[in-house]
Amino acid sequence: MSVLGATGSIGTQTLDIVRRLPERFRVVAVSANRDVRTVVSQAREFRPQLVALADEAAAAACRQELAGTGIQVLAGEEGLVAVATMPEADVLVGAVVGMAGLVPILAGAKAGKVIALANKESLVVGGQLLMDTACANGAVILPVDSEHSAILQCLAGENRPYLRRLILTASGGPFWGKRRSQLRGVTRREALRHPRWQMGAKISVDSATMMNKGLEVLEAHWLFGAALDAIDVVVHPQSIVHSLVEFQDGSIVAQLGPTDMRHPILYALTYPERVAAGLPGLDLLQVGQLQFMAPDDETFPCLTLAREAGRRGGTAPAALNAANEVAVAAFLQDRIEFLAIPEIVAQVLERHNERPADDLPAVLAADQEGRRLAQQLIDHWEGGAS
Ligand code: MG
């Protein structure tokens, strides 16, 4: 396998699965953004043929560290594409965070890989493009996202026409139960303190704003070909039921498991098999109660914004995603307050004129435009605040 984004949360947990099943998997290429220390230690352990770093300076440092090992080190987007299209790899794990994943994952689809996809942004932004490219080149996209993995498992052995709706569960994030006024002045540290999942910073903030669930609705739309209004969201604070499918006869099938991303990673890597990897199971008696509640769209408007972008279609989700990435980065740098995130996304979406999103240049242009506009709004925001 090749792993794009090997040093992040999903990447390191993927390598943990490889460590557990050494007779089944071999890592031939890994990429990272700029974390030289982690990627070098991974390279020493797993002995891939190729390492790529998005950051040029980090690649130079890595090349020095790995001198004499025979491991090739590449830099930039070209390097990431080389990892994604590595001829020796059957499986590509797409664990890069954000829009940066789109170009290499598209290249992997063009190369006909089995793609274990954790990068939901590539589907949100370039869903049409990615699904068409995969279809035309015999690539298969298997979700690593826990909700979508759950849906794939619920659909196993069922026929499409029997499907009535998909029900995505949401933990609600660290601020579930709060009113809007109580979110004024919440800190980065509070936003990153997720009650159930250990995740990277970007997705943790997305989870706190509920944008993560909005992105996941769009992700489910592309992965399973479900209409947007046939995809519901329920808040389920225990995060034990990872998602559900309702069939035409009114029966609902759910998938349950511990809050451990290694389970959906393992399923994507071994699909359609069920492989024992020594992961802990779920103790139902310890779980005790399961609750389900309606989302609070007034306090957390990002879910509604994502649905609106999805309904408008074309490049609208690319603009939404770009605005969100820029706003979340600004929040993580303490440049804007938490409540400004949905505000900026809403304004960018409102000003965006969507076009068809069936080629890469159109998608990239919408992304750039969304980023530029969000950045302007943030500069203005800071100016107004000081
Ligand atoms: Mg998820």
Residue 32 contacts by C-beta under 8 Å, 6 or more apart in sequence? 5, 6, 7, 11, 38, 39, 51, 52, 53, 54, 58
289 with 152, same domain? yes
- Conformational region of residue 370, where left means phi above 0, alpha means psi within -120 to 50, and beta covers everything else: alpha
Question: Is 129 in contact with 358 (CB distance < 8 Å)?
Answer: yes
| Model pLDDT, residue 386 | 42
Task: Measure 119 CA to ligand 1 centroid, in angstroms.
Answer: 10
226 with 289, same domain? yes
Which CATH number covers residue 334?
1.10.1740.10
139 with 22, same domain? yes
Helices (H) and strands (E) in the chain, counts: 16, 11
Q: Which residues surround ligand 1, an ion (CB under 5 A)?
A: 145-147
| Model pLDDT, residue 200 | 86
Task: Measure 212 CA to ligand 1 centroid, in angstroms.
Answer: 7
Task: Measure 146 CA to ligand 1 centroid, in angstroms.
Answer: 5
Task: Measure 156 CA to ligand 1 centroid, in angstroms.
Answer: 19
Task: Measure 203 CA to ligand 1 centroid, in angstroms.
Answer: 9
Q: Amino acid identity, residue 68?
A: G
* Helix (H) or strand (E) run with residue 188 in it: helix 188-192
Task: Measure 358 CA to ligand 1 centroid, in angstroms.
Answer: 26
Which ranges of the chain have pLDDT less than 50?
Answer: 386
| Model pLDDT, residue 303 | 98
Distance of CA 74 to the CA centre of its chain: 24
DSSP structure string for 200-260: -HHHHHHHHHTHHHHHHHHHHHHHH---GGGEEEEE-TT--EEEEEEETTS-EEEEE--S-
Task: Measure 69 CA to ligand 1 centroid, in angstroms.
Answer: 37
17 in a structural domain: yes
151 with 131, same domain? no
| Model pLDDT, residue 257 | 98
For 32, phi and psi rounded to 5 degrees? -140, 170
176-211 pLDDT per residue, tens: 999 999 999 999 999 998 777 778 899 999 999 999
Question: Is 92 in contact with 31 (CB distance < 8 Å)?
Answer: no
Task: Measure 41 CA to ligand 1 centroid, in angstroms.
Answer: 28
Task: Measure 275 CA to ligand 1 centroid, in angstroms.
Answer: 22
Task: Measure 262 CA to ligand 1 centroid, in angstroms.
Answer: 13
9 with 70, same domain? yes
251-271 burial code (b ≥16 CB/10 A, e <16) = eebbbebbbbbbbbbbbbbbb
**Block residue for tokens 């557990």:** 20
- Please tell me whether residue 339 adopts helix, strand or coil conformation: coil
288-342 pLDDT per residue, tens: 999 999 999 999 999 999 999 999 999 999 999 999 999 999 999 999 999 999 9
Task: Measure 147 CA to ligand 1 centroid, in angstroms.
Answer: 5
| Model pLDDT, residue 250 | 98
Task: Measure 239 CA to ligand 1 centroid, in angstroms.
Answer: 10
Which of 118, 144, 170 lies at the terminal end of a domain, its last residue?
144
57 in a structural domain: yes
- Conformational region of residue 225, where left means phi above 0, alpha means psi within -120 to 50, and beta covers everything else: left
| Model pLDDT, residue 207 | 95
| Model pLDDT, residue 302 | 98
138 with 165, same domain? no
Task: Measure 234 CA to ligand 1 centroid, in angstroms.
Answer: 13
Q: Comparing C-alpha atoms, which of 131, 55, 56, 147 is closest to residue 96? A: 55
Range of the domain at 361: 313-386
Question: Is 63 in contact with 112 (CB distance < 8 Å)?
Answer: no
Distances (CA, A) of 58 to 12, 66, 280: 19, 12, 36
Q: Amino acid identity, residue 330?
A: A
Which long-range CB contacts under 8 A does 70-77 form with residues at least 24 apart? 71/43, 71/47, 74/50, 76/52, 77/103, 77/104
- Conformational region of residue 279, where left means phi above 0, alpha means psi within -120 to 50, and beta covers everything else: beta
- Please tell me whether residue 383 adopts helix, strand or coil conformation: helix
Query: How many domains does the structure of the chain reveal?
Result: 3
| Model pLDDT, residue 385 | 55
Task: Measure 330 CA to ligand 1 centroid, in angstroms.
Answer: 22
| Model pLDDT, residue 383 | 67
Which CATH number covers residue 136?
3.40.50.720
269 in a structural domain: no
Tokens of 40: 């070098």
DSSP structure string for 67-99: TTTT-EEEEHHHHHHHHHT-TT-SEEEE---SG
| Model pLDDT, residue 112 | 98
